[in-house]
Every structure is written in C-alpha cells, then in structure tokens.
Amino acid sequence: MSHLHALPGYLTFGGLRPAPSADGTVVSGTAATATPRASSGPEPGHAVEVTRLYVRRGGQTVLREVSLQIPRGSVTGLLGPSGCGKSTLIRSIMGVQRISGGSVTVLGRPAGSPDLRPRVGYVTQAPALYDDLTVDENLGYFARLLGTPADRVDEVLETVDLDHARWRLARNLSGGQRARVSLATALLGEPELLVLDEPTVGLDPVLRRRLWGTFEELAARGTTLLVSSHVMDEAARCDELLLMREGTLLATETPQRLRARTGEQDLEEAFLRLALHAERPARTATGVAS
C-alpha cells in the first residue's frame, strides 16, 4: 500500500516496482500470507505501548526516555514543532527505526513484526504515487497486491471524496488530492492502526476539516489513528494528545485536561505554557538563570 505497510527492510516484492516517495523512502506493502498471532503485549485497551524509548543518531539523542500508551479506537494527536522527534517516534512505532533503548509494542506485538503488515497502515509526509497512472489505476494496483476485492477501491474513493477524480493522472492532481489518494491507499487493507505523518501539511482549511472528519469516522468504526501535526488548532479534534518538544514527551493529556492543567483555553497557549515550564528546570541545571 503506497505508504502503509512497508519501508526499506520491512517488506520487499520480487519483480514488483516499489512506489518512491520524495524523501527517497521506498513505500509499498501487501497483506501477503501473514497470520496475526495472539497478543501477549500491552493490555487489550492499548494499540501502542512505548516504554523508555531512546533513539540516538549521528551522535545526538533524538528521543529521550519516551513512554506512552495509545488507546484502541481513538484519534491520538502527536503534536510539537518541526524537528522535535515526531517522525522518529513514528518510524519507531512502524519498526523501521533503529532504537538505542526501550521497547515499542504495537497491537500486542514487537514493532516491525512481519505479522503486523496487514494490520497497520502508514501514510508518510510525501505521497508515494505513480504519476503515470490514474487514481483508479494506482489504487487498483495496490488492491491487487493486497488481495482486496475490486469494490474496495470504490469504497475508499468515496471515503476520501475523490470518486470524481478517479480517472485523472496522478501527476495532474493537486497536493491535497495526492494526500487523499495516499490516505485511500492506506485504507484499502482496513488496518487496525493507521499512522499518519503530518497528513494536512500544505492543505487549505476546508480540506483539512474534511480530512479530520474522515479520521473521526474511521475511529468511530474502531480504527486507531495516530496523527502527527505541528498545527495546534488540530489538537482540539483529538481524543488524546501527545505533546513533544526537543525529543521528549512533555505531556499526555486530553484537550480538556490540558486546558484545566494550564489554565489556558487556547491549546497553543497551553502548549507554550507547558514548554516554558519544562525549560526552567533545564536552564537551572545548566546554570542559566530562569
């Protein structure tokens, strides 16, 4: 599925060309013949459990002792400024990031386990589509890889409101339409967990609202969604918030609890208050006046 179940080293196809993304990641996937095993990981209420996760890259600590739980059937927002470690955390959850310490469990299995491939969908920041194929042909190609019924293409096109563009070449789509085709591709296999890395970047407010409506509908049907963003006004649409800054997890809160905790009704102001509070001990520890 264009950017869902596979990344480099995660899944390969003999004789099949993988879909390239703009950042050089190879993204493809298939349900293959994987058979999910019985869960022996986190308690049933959690789709994802991360425990004391460390990631070091290039001599720098990118993630520092991150621990979190994502409830099943929820829309969880992963929020923070660009460069704070959101994408690294997502890659860790997908099982394609080399970690330095800690553990990541997804749907009761270690992250990256082969039997998770038909159960987890992943939409990257850069849509990975074949520009020389139509929308219908792109989706049909990945549907055949997954072994899903042909009418599933019709269903996902309706879900993302793109049936009117199904015969348009991918190269002629707008940025927002490409993002929606990517989401449709991830939905072909009806994943239990759907991970979306900054899916609304560059989209206009109307389309952003439409996509969030789709996310909420999917969660109502039982899908667990993890959606990363640096747009704080999207936080109010999440059931749970994971707030990150400089490789650490500042807080795990609902929007309502975050407002109550900080005394701020505006979620961006609430995040800033948390960030400033977290900086004070760090400044004191390094001898900088608070």
Looking at the structure of the chain, the number of domains it has is 2
pLDDT at 44: 56
Sign of the Cα pseudo-torsion (74, 79, 84, 86, in order): positive
Token pair for residue 39?
């869960």
| Separation CA 10–CA 8 (nearest Å) | 5
Q: Which helix (H) or strand (E) holds 244?
A: strand 240-245
Domain-embedded: residue 120: yes
Percent helix, percent strand, percent coil in the chain, to nearest 5 = 35, 25, 40
Do residues 187 and 263 both lie within one domain?
Answer: no
pLDDT at 205: 84
pLDDT at 201: 77
Asked if 283 contacts 277 with a C-beta cutoff of 8 angstroms, the reply is no
Domain-embedded: residue 84: yes
Which CATH number goes with the domain that contains 164? Answer: 3.40.50.300
pLDDT at 281: 52
Residue closest to 3 by CA, chosen among 87, 115, 77, 101: 87
202: DSSP letter: T
What are the pLDDT tens digits along the chain (290 aa)? 333 333 332 222 222 333 333 333 333 332 222 223 333 333 457 999 999 999 999 999 999 999 999 999 999 999 988 889 999 999 999 999 999 999 999 999 999 999 998 899 998 877 789 999 999 999 999 999 888 998 999 999 998 889 999 999 999 998 888 988 998 998 898 899 999 988 887 777 887 888 888 899 999 999 999 999 877 788 899 999 999 999 999 999 999 999 999 999 998 898 888 888 876 554 444 443 32
Coil, helix or strand for 85?
coil
Domain membership of residue 121 as a residue range? 19-35+56-251
pLDDT at 280: 58
Q: How far is CA 161 from CA 52, 156, 169, 257, in A?
A: 40, 8, 16, 34
Do residues 64 and 142 both lie within one domain?
Answer: yes
| Separation CA 1–CA 123 (nearest Å) | 9
Do residues 30 and 130 both lie within one domain?
Answer: yes
| Separation CA 74–CA 133 (nearest Å) | 34
Show the CA angle centred on residue 38, arms to residues 33 and 42, nearest 5°.
125
Q: Which amino acid appears at position 285 of this protein?
A: A
173-185 pLDDT per residue, tens: 988 889 889 989 9
